[in-house]
């Protein structure tokens, strides 16, 4: 029977990963699996090979930057995965039946632009509302519902959660930026019907995107974390 990695040797592989600056537990799991498979593959060819020699040979295959490359690859995979989820979430609002709500909101905003002459103040009011709402989300909702992990381990998936739920940082600077921008514009320059229609579409789409970024995506990541690492969640 071919020799297999023991529980004690598995723990040594985790320690080996930590010594080589891989601190995220979910990345360590993947690396340990790669190393264990490689070592057991060597034992099939040479049963007398020691664990340390097998580990040394397996590590050589990763190269100097092998571990960091796998970490980077894992980060890219997570970003692509959750970017796709966010994109599909947003597209759902432009498919039946949610498209009705999206259409009504866009049309309502466009009619508001038609009724109010100073369109730029609608935009600034919208941005201020976004900022206030986002800050309320962070201090009133996010802090209470955030992903909580037992101390002692870090996770790449948890980092992804933090990036997804902290989009408010981008929003809080929008009103100040837009105020200075629109002060430079003539108020009549944004009365074009097609421009206002496009602006209405963009504002509604951005609202959907922000909602997905702040609520939908963190919720999904939290669910996936609990599915994979329930023993580490608080």
pLDDT at 195: 83
Alpha carbon of 203 to those of 100, 107, 109, 209, 227: distances in Å? 16, 11, 9, 10, 35
pLDDT at 24: 92
pLDDT at 178: 60
Domain boundaries, the chain: 7-63, 72-232
Separation between Cα atoms, residue 76 and residue 74, nearest integer Å: 5
Matching residue, tokens 């092998």? 66
Q: What is the mean pLDDT of each run of 10 residues along the chain (234 residues)?
A: 86 92 90 91 88 90 76 88 94 94 95 82 80 80 84 88 70 60 55 84 91 90 93 90
Separation between Cα atoms, residue 61 and residue 38, nearest integer Å: 9
Separation between Cα atoms, residue 165 and residue 141, nearest integer Å: 11
> In a 3-state reduction of DSSP, which class is residue 24?
strand
Beta-carbon contacts of residue 38 (< 8 Å; ≥ 6 apart): 54, 57, 58, 61
pLDDT at 80: 93
Of 199, 195, 204, 197, give the one whose Cα is nearest residue 99.
Answer: 204
pLDDT at 64: 62
Separation between Cα atoms, residue 104 and residue 110, nearest integer Å: 10
pLDDT at 162: 83
pTM, entire model: 0.82
Of 149, 153, 163, give the one whose Cα is nearest residue 225.
Answer: 149
Rounded to 5°, the CA angle 206-207-212 comes to: 95
């Amino acid at each position: 029977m071919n020799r297999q990695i023991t529980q004690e040797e598995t723990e040594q592989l985790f320690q080996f990963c930590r010594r080589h600056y891989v601190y995220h537990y979910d990345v360590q799991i993947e690396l340990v699996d790669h190393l264990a498979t490689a070592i057991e593959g060597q034992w099939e060819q040479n049963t007398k090979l020691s664990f340390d020699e097998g580990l040394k040979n397996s590590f050589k295959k990763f190269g100097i930057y092998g571990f960091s490359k796998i970490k980077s690859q894992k980060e890219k995979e997570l970003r692509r995965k959750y970017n796709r989820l966010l994109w599909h979430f947003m597209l759902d609002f432009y498919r039946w039946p949610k498209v009705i709500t999206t259409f009504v909101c866009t049309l309502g905003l466009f009619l508001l632009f038609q009724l109010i002459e100073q369109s730029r103040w609608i935009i600034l009011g919208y941005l201020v509302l976004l900022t206030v709402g986002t800050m309320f989300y962070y201090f009133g909702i996010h802090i209470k519902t955030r992903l909580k992990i037992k101390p002692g381990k870090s996770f790449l998936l948890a980092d992804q959660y933090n990036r997804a739920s902290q989009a408010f940082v981008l929003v809080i600077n929008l009103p100040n930026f837009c105020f200075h921008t629109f002060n430079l514009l003539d108020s009549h320059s944004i009365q074009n019907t097609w421009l206002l229609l496009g602006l209405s579409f963009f504002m509604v789409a951005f609202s959907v995107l922000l909602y997905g970024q702040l609520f939908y995506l963190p919720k999904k990541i939290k669910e996936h974390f609990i599915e994979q690492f329930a023993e580490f969640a608080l």
